[in-house]
Structures are given as structure tokens and as C-alpha cells.
């Protein structure tokens, strides 16, 4: 068990070091440097109480505009994105694409040329649980590592520009949204759903997740019992279904551990979705970080689906990208992410982008 943990630590350290180095050395396209280091997130005012993030997703028809005037004047023009009017009909994949609430032209992140990765290979090797690792320990490891990965990107949109504003702010992103059809609410101290600017929502989410991870009752650093794999031949989460058994019990995790991890992954997915819909072009594309974002998000989706941490319907805001990645080979056929994808829609997106 000790050897396995050392291997996991080394693997995660190498992966995180590469990501952190690339994020910290990000450069504007067409420039040689970018002034100022990445800063830690700036917390908005708060009442001192952290509440459950809730699970509300509301339909919305308002649009958001990206800010950061200081960066805009320096930026080269964006590449052209595929248009939905390019030979769209009732052919293969067209109906699925037309059913998605997509703008025209398509977002840059649905252009196959910019849906690529910095890492080549099968991310399933990083998502699949080693046979000798207990399920709860593996889920806990994935929660912590994916949270660290995500926060590298959140720090980029929290970095202050020359005008003193962050890229994601109450003006550019007045609500926590992922496109025009998905907006998310937070529960206040009276457990009422309220809309918040994305900046505040993400900060509260970060505090809530950090509080859960740092809670020894939820993520114990010293297991109360012996940690071992329930059955080395079974690698799915559907291992323990009896009332007196639960995922992580053998490693000292509480009975509600897995449901808490599911909520954490749902919150992280919402942040990824907001980053793609509101900030993919600015700042990630303009800082040459789109491949890093794609690599971490595809790894996140593979892990979330493989471990049953996200349900298929919860992936809806990013379904077109999941379709595209299934069609271009990013998601292997044996993965649940591939199973949840619409391959015809993905293939059609490749055609629209001139990649098929």
C-alpha cells in the first residue's frame, strides 16, 4: 500500500508541476511576456458563514460580455469558428447539434483546432483505480488532485489586469452561468437560492470545498481501520450496496463521504463550464493555455464519469465538447464519457471544423 501511495504522489506531482509551470509561464499570443505574476484569488465580502452550494440550475436568456479592457487592445483577432449555417440540415448529427443552445458562430472551444491537448495518450490510465487501492482512498485522491488542477485556472481569471480589475468580475459575469441556458444559484444562510456574480459564486465554492477537504471527519488523514481493496477484480464504484457498507468505510471515511464528493465534483464541473463559456477566448486562448485547460477538463470528465461522481444529465452544458472529444478519439471507447457522448454530433462538429 505504501508503494502505491508513493507512486500516486509522484505521478500527481509530475502532472501538477507541468501544469503549474505552463500556467505561470503563460504568454499573450504575439507577445514575449506578460507583466505581473499570477495572484491568489481575491475573496469578496462575506458574512463569515459558509452554506451548502445547493444544486439549482436555472434557465437563463441573458448574455455575458467579457471585460478586461487593458488586454483587449493588445490581442490579435480570434480565429474564425465554424458556423451552424454551413450546410446544416437534417443529416447525420445535425439534429443533435441544433438541439443544443449554441451561438452562431460556434464558440471557439468547439473548433476542433482548439479542442486539442498538451498530453498525448489515454487519460484512462490516470482515472482508473489501481486494483490495490481502496475505493474511498482513490475517490479522495481524485477530489484533491482535480481541485488543485482546477484552481490553477481559476487563479488566471482572478489575476488583476492593469486597470485593477479581475477578468472575471461582477460586470463581465453578473451571474454564475454556462451559456445562455444554464445559470447556477447559491443557498444563503436561510437556505434560499440566490443569484451571485460568478466571481463570488466561485470564491464561495472554493471556501466550501476547502472546508470539506480540511475536515478530518470527512477526509481523515489517519484511517480508523485497515485500508485495502474490497475486491481487486472490481474497479467500479458499485462495490458496496448494503446498508452497513459504503465507499470508503475500510479507510475510515464517513457514510456520507461519497455523496459529498459527488457535490464537490458537481461544483467543480460548474466552474469548468463557466470558464469555457465565458473565458475560453479571454484569457485562456490569448495566453496560449487552451491546451492545458482542455487536458485537465477531459481528464476531469473521464474521472467523474468513471467513478460515478457526475450523472449524464449534469454534463449537459458541456455536452457538445464531450461529443467532439468522443469523436476525435480523446475519450476511448471503453470509457463512460464515450458512452454518454453523441458520436454523430461529434463527427458533425469535426466536419464543420474541417477535421473530417
pLDDT, mean of residues 198-215: 97
Q: What angle do CA 202, 118, 116 make, to 5 degrees?
A: 80
51 annotated as a binding-site residue: no
Q: Is residue 184 a contact partner of residue 317, using CB atoms and an 8 Å limit?
A: no
* Tens digits of residue pLDDT in 6-63: 334 444 444 545 555 455 555 555 554 444 433 333 333 344 344 556 655 554 433 3
* Contact between residue 34 and residue 75 where contact means Cβ atoms under 8 Å apart: no
DSSP class of residue 81 equals P
Pick from 155, 159, 144, 109: which is nearest to 15 by CA?
144
pLDDT-derived band at 183, boundaries 50, 70, 90: very high
The predicted pLDDT at position 39 comes to 35
Quote the CA–CA distance of 157 and 284 in Å, as a whole number.
Answer: 9
pTM of the model: 0.77
Cell numbers given for 353? 471544423
Q: Distance between CA 97 and CA 189 in Å, rounded?
A: 40
Q: Which residue has the cell 506531482?
A: 13
- Count of alpha carbons within 13 Å of 353, Cβ hemisphere only? 24
pLDDT value of residue 260: 98
pLDDT tens for 225-282 read: 444 445 545 545 444 556 678 999 989 999 999 999 999 999 999 999 999 999 999 9
The model's confidence at residue 222, banded by pLDDT at 50, 70 and 90, is confident
CA atoms of 153 and 149, how far apart (whole Å): 7
Number of other CB atoms surrounding residue 233 within 10 Å? 7
Unique residue bearing C-alpha cell 479581475: 166
pLDDT for 185 equals 96
Is 214's pLDDT higher than 80? yes
Between CA 227 and CA 83 the distance in angstroms is 53
What is the rounded distance in angstroms from the CA atom of residue 264 to the CA atom of residue 310?
A: 10
Query: For 66-78, how does the pLDDT look when each residue is reduced to its tens digit (9 = 90+)?
Result: 333 444 445 555 5
299 is in an annotated binding site: no
For residue 123, what is its C-alpha cell?
A: 487519460
Q: What is the 3-state secondary structure (H, E, C) of 9-74?
A: HHHHHHHHHHHHHHHHCCCCCCCCCCCCCCCCCCCCCCCCCCCCCCCCEECCCCCCCCCCHHHHCC
**CA dist., res. 355 & res. 348, Å (int):** 10
Crossing angle for the helix pair 290-306 and 257-279, to the nearest 10 degrees: 150
The rounded distance, in Å, linking the Cα atoms of 285 and 78 is: 9
Element at 212 (helix H, strand E)? helix 198-214
Q: Residues 6 or more apart from 114 whose CB is under 8 A from it?
A: 79, 108, 285, 290
Rounded to whole angstroms, the Cα distance separating 47 from 157 reads 24
146 is in an annotated binding site: no
Range scoring the smallest mean pLDDT among 42-46, 138-142, 290-294, 303-307: 42-46
Nearest Cα neighbor of 338 from 347, 325, 353, 354 is 325
More confident residue, 351 or 228: 351
Q: What percent of the chain has pLDDT over 70?
A: 68
Q: Is 296 annotated as a binding residue?
A: no
E-strand ranges in 142-207 read 183-187, 193-195
What domains lie within the chain, and their CATH numbers?
Answer: 120-309 (1.20.140.30)
331 half-sphere exposure, CB direction, 13 A CA radius: 31
User: Is the Cβ–Cβ distance between 147 and 209 less than 8 Å?
Assistant: yes
Place of cell 448494503: 242
Amino acid at each position: 500500500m505504501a508503494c502505491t501511495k508513493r507512486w500516486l504522489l509522484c505521478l500527481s506531482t509530475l502532472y501538477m508541476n507541468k501544469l503549474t509551470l505552463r500556467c505561470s509561464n503563460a504568454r499573450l499570443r504575439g507577445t514575449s511576456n506578460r507583466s505581473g505574476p499570477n495572484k491568489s484569488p481575491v475573496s469578496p465580502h462575506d458574512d463569515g458563514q459558509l452554506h451548502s452550494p445547493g444544486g439549482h440550475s436555472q434557465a437563463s436568456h441573458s448574455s455575458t460580455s467579457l471585460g478586461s479592457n487593458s488586454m483587449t487592445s493588445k490581442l490579435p483577432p480570434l480565429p474564425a469558428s465554424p458556423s451552424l449555417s454551413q450546410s446544416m440540415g437534417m443529416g447525420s448529427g445535425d439534429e443533435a447539434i441544433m438541439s443544443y443552445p449554441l451561438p452562431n458562430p460556434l464558440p471557439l472551444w468547439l473548433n476542433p483546432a482548439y479542442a486539442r491537448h498538451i498530453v498525448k495518450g489515454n487519460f484512462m490510465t490516470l482515472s482508473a483505480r489501481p486494483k490495490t487501492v481502496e475505493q474511498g482512498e482513490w475517490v479522495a485522491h481524485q477530489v484533491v488532485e482535480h481541485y488543485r488542477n482546477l484552481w490553477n485556472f481559476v487563479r488566471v481569471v482572478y489575476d488583476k489586469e492593469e486597470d485593477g480589475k479581475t477578468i472575471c468580475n461582477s460586470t463581465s459575469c453578473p451571474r454564475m452561468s454556462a451559456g445562455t441556458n444554464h445559470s447556477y444559484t447559491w443557498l444563503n444562510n436561510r437556505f434560499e437560492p440566490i443569484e451571485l456574480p460568478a466571481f463570488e459564486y466561485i470564491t464561495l465554492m472554493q471556501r466550501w470545498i476547502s472546508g470539506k477537504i480540511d475536515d478530518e471527519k470527512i477526509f481523515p488523514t489517519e484511517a480508523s481501520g485497515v485500508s485495502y481493496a474490497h475486491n481487486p477484480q472490481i474497479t467500479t464504484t458499485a462495490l458496496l450496496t448494503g446498508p452497513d457498507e459504503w465507499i470508503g468505510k475500510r479507510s475510515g471515511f464517513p457514510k456520507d463521504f461519497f455523496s459529498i464528493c459527488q457535490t464537490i465534483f458537481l461544483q467543480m464541473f460548474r466552474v469548468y463550464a463557466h470558464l469555457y463559456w465565458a473565458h475560453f477566448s479571454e484569457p485562456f486562448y490569448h495566453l496560449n493555455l487552451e491546451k492545458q485547460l482542455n487536458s485537465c477538463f477531459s481528464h476531469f470528465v473521464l474521472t467523474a464519469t468513471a467513478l460515478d461522481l457526475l450523472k449524464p444529465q449534469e454534463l449537459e452544458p458541456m455536452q457538445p465538447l464531450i461529443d467532439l472529444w468522443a469523436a476525435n478519439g480523446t475519450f476511448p471507447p471503453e470509457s463512460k464519457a464515450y458512452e454518454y457522448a453523441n458520436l454523430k454530433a461529434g463527427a458533425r462538429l469535426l466536419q464543420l471544423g474541417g477535421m473530417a
